[in-house]
Each structure stands twice: as structure tokens, then as C-alpha cells.
Amino acid sequence: MQKIIHVDNSDFFRKLMKVFLMEQGFEGTYFSHGLDALEALEKEDVSMLITGMALSDMDGKEFIKRVYASSYTGPIIVLTSNDSEEEQQALEHEGVKACIAKTGAWQEKLLPYLL
């Protein structure tokens, strides 16, 4: 079973993601703090990282920079409340696999990256 780490400051959204990933057959570990997620990335065999841009302890851009400086080499998917196309393109230019707005049908947009 593939393992996914999800990081987001919203307890509600982490719960939604947990249900969604379980329904898709994935095991997940969920964090609100970027530092906790970074520690888990170093210790666990993780196939994908899904992160928000607002974390409890740091900015999402800072978190992504730290992920790239770590030993993790898997894909990073960003789920964000900011639906600015410029922001999404900037993150993808930085190497993020996809940037998906939390508004609307985010599950359907995320699903192809999980398969």
C-alpha cells in the first residue's frame, strides 16, 4: 500500500483528506506542522507528499524549500485556497507536480495524480 503524507493547518481539511485517501486505498499520515512532516519524510517510506500553503508553523513555500533540501525525492502536490493561476504556475515552475485549488472538485483533480 502506498503511503502519503498530507500537511495542512486545517483540521477539517485533514479529516476530509483522510477519508478521501482511505476510500482510494491509500495509507496516510497527517500533520499540521511542517517540521513534523519533514521529520516523517526522513524516517518513512513515502510515495507522495500533499501539502497546503498555510501550515501551523511555517509558510508553504518555506516548507517546500525544506522538502527539496531533504532526502525526499517523490512528487509534491499542493492543495491551496489561493486559486491564482500565477501562484499555481510559479509553484509548478519550482518543481511541484501539481497545484490544485481547494475550491470546487479538488478530489477529481487530485485523483489522476494518485493513480
Q: What pLDDT is recorded for position 101?
A: 86
Q: Residue 4 has what DSSP assignment?
A: E
Of residues 94, 102, 107, 88, the one with CA closest to residue 67: 94
Q: What pLDDT is recorded for position 16?
A: 93
pTM passes above 0.85: yes
Using one digit for the tens of pLDDT, what is the confidence trace for 56-107? Answer: 999 888 999 999 999 999 999 999 887 677 877 777 778 899 988 888 789 9
Extract the C-alpha cell encoding 104.
470546487
DSSP assignment string, 19-31:
HHHHHTT-EEEEE
Domain 3-114: give its CATH code: 3.40.50.2300
CB atoms within 10 A of CB 39: 13
What are the structural domain ranges in the chain? 3-114
